Chain A
Amino acid sequence: MTALRDRIIPVAVVVAAILAVWYIAAIFMNAPYQRELNDRAHETPDLRAFIGQTWAQNKPTLPAPHQIAENFFKNTFQVKITSRRSLVYNSWVTLSSTLLGFAFGTVLGILIAVGIVHVPVLDRSLMPWIIASQTIPILAIAPMVIVVLAAIGVTGLIPKALISTYLSFFPVAVGMVKGLRSPDILHLDLMHTYNAGKAQTFWKLRVPASVPFLFTSMKVAVAASLVGAIVGELPTGAVAGIGAKLLAGSYYSQTIDMWSALVAGSVVAVLLVAAVGVVGRFVELKMGARP
């Protein structure tokens, strides 16, 4: 009961407030076009009917929540998952390049961090470039990556994954630099008294000490990877994927499709972040964290 009162009710109140604002906003945003339609059809509905019409347009400026829910439900559960319309299929396409890019990005981020921590020259030379790399808008980089790679014959999953890599290596690199430098002076002194080598200090002290930092930054990185994968689908003229759905939706003013693709994207993001969180928690428990 306390769980209900303390956790569910606050969330429910916020959700209800958002839905209320959304429905009201939908009325006002869809009203001009609806009025136009009604004028042309010489209809004069009363207020109630008019509001109902603004919530039931085919291509609304702002779809009402139930329209999105309906579309999402239909394209997720009622369409065969092999169909081009299926959100499961499109999510899977995006997910596969997200995961590949995330894996690349995590490995790259860790390698960069190891280099920065152990080689003073890299610490000074690499870090400014890494930070600068993240100030360039991904939307500007993405088409160039796709075009350049296509020119040398690399197409398909890899170019999209590389855009995810570009976004996801950064949080991992920064987090791991911090993590690998996180051991106490006391622990480092202790290893020194054992006359431990650099490699032993790395594997027995720095790496385990960095694990919590790794999972925290991986949570950020996996969400960034998904953004990268979606953005990567936009300039490629990709035929499938959440990004492709968004693009197609905007071409044909299928706003409801766009919104339900967005919802699919957020569901994937939540699942990915939660999955990293669960794995992280599992590893930390294995490593003796307090339950």
Chain B
Amino acid sequence: MSVSAAAASAGNVARGAASVSSGATVVSARQLSLTFETNDGPVNALADIDLDVRKGEFVSFIGPSGCGKTTFLRVIADLEKPTSGTISVNGMTPEQARQKRAYGYVFQAAGLFPWRTIERNVTLPLEIMGYSSAEQAERVRRTLELVNLTGFEKKFPWQLSGGMQQRASIARALAFDADLLLMDEPFGALDEIVRDHLNSQLLELWARTNKTICFVTHSIPEAVYLSTKIVVMSPRPGRVTDMIESTLPKDRPLEIRETPEFLEIAHRVREGLRAGHSYED
């Protein structure tokens, strides 16, 4: 089990990190591999991934382009089928989990429907899942409040800034009761200042809703700041090179990024990336 192995090898950094990782297993992957057949021959997007995500954890996947972090998220979401190995989501296959609407997915781009207002974008999944209109209105109010977009219900996406659009897409993913939130570089296209702001808002939201979050990023500070567990990946073939349980407290002001503890974890992430030859070519 490379999970426990990685956790054990985490050494001093991993000390006392188990505070949140005691819940039930939400995502469990064993020997998971995925090979894409392309015109240039097969590409090993994922090779022998062993991984557990427990309830209430905030797990970041970090690595350079092509390391399979997004692919892994898409496998959890049943947007890609693994070639071999097993994966379960809430104890079901990804397909069953998707049919049970077990997760909300936030894409790299906000992906709002331009012809719908913010409010109607948030109700989109609710309409599809057959919620009553009273229930829809209530949930829109609640989730837009959660992402600080109250007052923008009637605006169209183009009338909002990029950061606000991404918050609206998070609201859309939160609108139905999925306990698992899959986020694929949701803040990748935003500038640093907006990103800091959204990161702290996301932590707040996570603390309030007690969701399990899988978060793909290629920013080391973002991964360390947000996560209870950091999965370091490397490309060709896409694999896990290190798994770091964060020792940071659950309550994290932005200033925590200046502390030695934070820098130590960041250093280890960087080492993990280097070990995976991620800094080459």
Q: Are A288 and B116 in contact (CB under 8 A)?
A: yes
Chain B CB within 10 Å, residue with most, of A191, A193, A205, A288: A193
* Interface assignment of A124: CB less than 8 Å from any CB of chain B: no
- Shortest beta-carbon distance, A286 to chain B, in Å? 9
* Interface assignment of B91: CB less than 8 Å from any CB of chain A: no
Complex CA gap A208/B115 in Å reads 7
Given contacts A184-B111, A186-B109, A193-B77, contact A204 B158 (CB under 8 A): no
Bits for A180-197, please: 1 = Cβ < 8 Å to B, else 0: 000010110111111110
Q: Are B115 and A193 in contact (CB under 8 A)?
A: no
Bits for B78-108, please: 1 = Cβ < 8 Å to A, else 0: 1100000000000000000011010111010
* Interface assignment of B152: CB less than 8 Å from any CB of chain A: no
- Shortest beta-carbon distance, B193 to chain A, in Å? 25
Chain A CB within 10 Å, residue with most, of B78, B127, B128: B128
Closest A residue to B120 using CB positions:
A288
- Shortest beta-carbon distance, A212 to chain B, in Å? 10
Q: Are A288 and B77 in contact (CB under 8 A)?
A: no
Complex CA gap A190/B98 in Å reads 11
Q: Are B111 and A288 in contact (CB under 8 A)?
A: no
Closest B residue to A212 using CB positions:
B115
Besides A184-B111, A190-B105, A193-B77, 19 other A-B contacts (C-beta < 8 A):
A186-B109, A186-B111, A187-B113, A190-B111, A193-B98, A193-B104, A194-B125, A194-B128, A194-B129, A195-B101, A200-B128, A204-B128, A209-B115, A287-B114, A287-B115, A288-B114, A288-B117, A288-B158, A290-B158
Measured as residues with beta carbon below 8 angstroms from the partner, the interface class of chain A is 20 to 34
* Interface pairs (13), CB distance under 8 Å: A186-B107, A187-B113, A189-B79, A190-B105, A193-B78, A193-B79, A194-B101, A194-B129, A195-B128, A204-B124, A204-B127, A208-B115, A290-B158
Q: Are A195 and B158 in contact (CB under 8 A)?
A: no
Q: Which residues of A contact B103 (CB under 8 A)?
A: 193
- Interface of B, secondary structure class, is loop
Task: Name B79's contact: one of A192, A196, A288 (CB within 8 Å).
Answer: A192
Q: Are A195 and B98 in contact (CB under 8 A)?
A: yes
Given contacts A208-B115, A290-B158, contact A190 B107 (CB under 8 A): yes
* Interface assignment of B156: CB less than 8 Å from any CB of chain A: yes
Chain A CB within 10 Å, residue with most, of B77, B109, B113, B157: B113
Q: Are A288 and B128 in contact (CB under 8 A)?
A: no
B interface with A by C-beta (< 8 Å):
77-79, 98-99, 101, 103-105, 107, 109, 111, 113-117, 124-125, 127-129, 156-158
A interface with B by C-beta (< 8 Å):
184, 186-187, 189-196, 200, 204-205, 208-209, 211, 287-290
Q: Are B113 and A189 in contact (CB under 8 A)?
A: no
Q: Which residues of A contact B105 (CB under 8 A)?
A: 189-190, 193
- Shortest beta-carbon distance, B172 to chain A, in Å? 9
Task: Name A208's contact: one of B99, B107, B113, B129 (CB within 8 Å).
Answer: B113
- Shortest beta-carbon distance, A288 to chain B, in Å? 4
Q: Are A205 and B111 in contact (CB under 8 A)?
A: no
Q: Which residues of A contact B156 (CB under 8 A)?
A: 288
Closest B residue to A284 using CB positions:
B115
Q: Which residues of B contact A208 (CB under 8 A)?
A: 113, 115-116
Q: Which residues of A contact B79 (CB under 8 A)?
A: 189, 192-193
